[in-house]
Structure 1
Amino acid sequence: MRKMIAVLALSVLAANVMAAVSPEEAAKLGTTLTPVGAEKAGNADGSIPAWTGGIPKNAGAVDSKGFLADPFANEKPLFVITAATVDKYKDKLSDGQVAMFKRYPETYKIPVYPSHRTVNLPADIYESIKRSAVNVKAINDGNGLENFTGNRYYAFPIPKNGVEVLWNHITRYHGGNLRRIITQATPQTNGSYTPIRFEEEVAVPQAIPDIDPAKAANVLSYFKQSVTAPARLAGNVLLVHETLDQVKEPRLAWIYNAGQRRVRRAPQVSYDGPGTASDGLRTTDNFDMFSGAPDRYDWKLVGKKEMYIPYNSYKLDSPSLKYDDIIKAGHINQDLTRYELHRVWEVVGTVKPNERHIYAKRHMYIDEDSWQVALVDHYDGRGQLWRVAEGHAQFYYDHQVPAYTVETLYDLIAGRYIALGMKNEEKSSFVFGFAAKAADYTPAALRTEGVR
Structure 2
Amino acid sequence: MKKISVLTCGALALTLLSSSVMAAVSADEAAKLGTSLTPLGAQKEGNADGSIPAYTGGLKKDAAPITNGFLGNPFEGEQPLFTITAANAEQYKDKLTPGQLAMFKRYASTYKIPVYKTQRTASSPQEIYDAAKKSALNTQSIDGGNGLSNFSDSRYYAFPIPKNGVEVVWNHMTRYRGKNQTRLTAQAAPQVNGSFTVVEATDDVAYPQFMQDVDKESSSNVLFYYKQRVTAPARLAGNVLLVHETIDQVAQPRMAWAYNAGQRRVRRAPQVAYDGPGTAADGMRTADNADMYNGSPDRYDWKLVGKQELYIPYNNYKLGSSKVKYADIVRPGHINQDLTRYELHRVWHVVGTLKSGERHIYAKRDMYFDEDSWQLAEVDHYDGRGQLWRVMEGYGTTEYAQGIAQYASLGIYDLIAGRYIVFGMNNEAKRGIQYGMTPNASDFTPAALRNAGIR
1:381 match: 384
Displacement, 1:12?
Answer: 11
Please, which of 275, 283, 286 is the counterpart of residue 283 of structure 1?
A: 286
Q: State the shift of 1:416 in Å.
A: 0.4
Alignment partner for residue 26 of structure 2, among 22, 27, 40?
22
Aligned residues: 445
Contact 1:150 1:206 in 2 (8 A): no
TM normalised by structure 2 equals 0.96
The residue number in structure 2 matching 1:118 is 121
Equivalent of 1:58 in 40, 58, 62: 62
1:161-190, Cα deviation, whole Å (9 max, x unpaired): 000000000000110212100110000000
Of 196, 199, 203, the residue aligned with 1:196 is 199
1:248 is matched with which residue? 251
Moved more, 359-368 or 210-219: 210-219
Is contact 2:135-2:154 (8 Å) kept? no
> How far apart are residue 268 of structure 1 and its match?
0.4
Runs of 4+ deviating beyond 4 Å = 10-17
Which residue of structure 2 lines up, in the alignment, with residue 215 of structure 1? 218
RMSD between aligned residues: 1.5
1:3 paired residue number:
none
Task: Look up the SS of the partner of 1:279 in the other structure.
Answer: coil
Equivalence for 2:371:
368
Q: Percent identity?
A: 65
Distance across 2 between alignment mates of 1:16 and 1:331: 43
- Show the 5 A alignment for 1:295-306: 295-306=298-309
Aligned AA (2:171): N
Q: Measure the CA separation in 1 of the matches of 2:362 and 2:50.
A: 37
Output aligned runs, 1:216-365, within 5 Å.
216-365=219-368
Instruction: Quote how far apart the aligned CAs of 1:19 are.
Output: 3.2
Match among 30, 45, 58 for residue 41 of structure 1: 45
Query: Quick check: 16-25 or 315-324, which moved more?
Result: 16-25
Deviation at 1:17, TM superposition (A): 4.3
Are the counterparts in 2 of residues 195 and 230 from structure 1 also a CA contact under 8 Å? yes
Is the partner of 1:285 in helix, strand or coil? helix
- Following TM superposition, by how much is the alpha carbon of 1:14 offset from its aligned partner in structure 2, in angstroms? 4.4
In structure 1, stretches of 5+ residues that fail to align are: 1-6
Tell me, in whole angstroms, the C-alpha distance in 2 between the residues paired with 1:45 and 1:200: 43
Name the SS of the counterpart of 1:317 in structure 2. coil
Shift of 1:256: 0.5
Q: What is the distance in 1 between the residues matched to 2:18 and 2:349? A: 23
Cα deviation for residue 298 of structure 1 reads 0.2
Normalised by the length of structure 1, the TM-score is 0.96
Q: How far did residue 16 of structure 1 move? A: 8.2
Deviation digits for residues 394-436 of structure 1 (CA, Å, limit 9, x no counterpart):
0011111110111000000000000001111111111122112
What's the offset of the Cα at 1:151? 4.0
1:177 counterpart letter in structure 2: N
Q: 1:66-122, CA deviations, whole angstroms, 9 ceiling, x for partnerless residues?
A: 111111112110100000000000110100000000000000000000000001100
1:333-387 superposed Cα distances (whole Å, 9 cap, x missing partner): 0000000000000000000002110000000000001100000000000000000
Distance in 1, matches of 2:433 and 2:249, equals 28
1:4 aligned partner: none
- Cα separation, 1, equivalents of 2:436 and 2:98: 38
2-side partners of 1:359 and 1:179: how far apart? 31
Contact 2:83 2:115 in 1 (8 A): yes
| Letter of the structure 1 residue corresponding to residue 240 of structure 2 | V
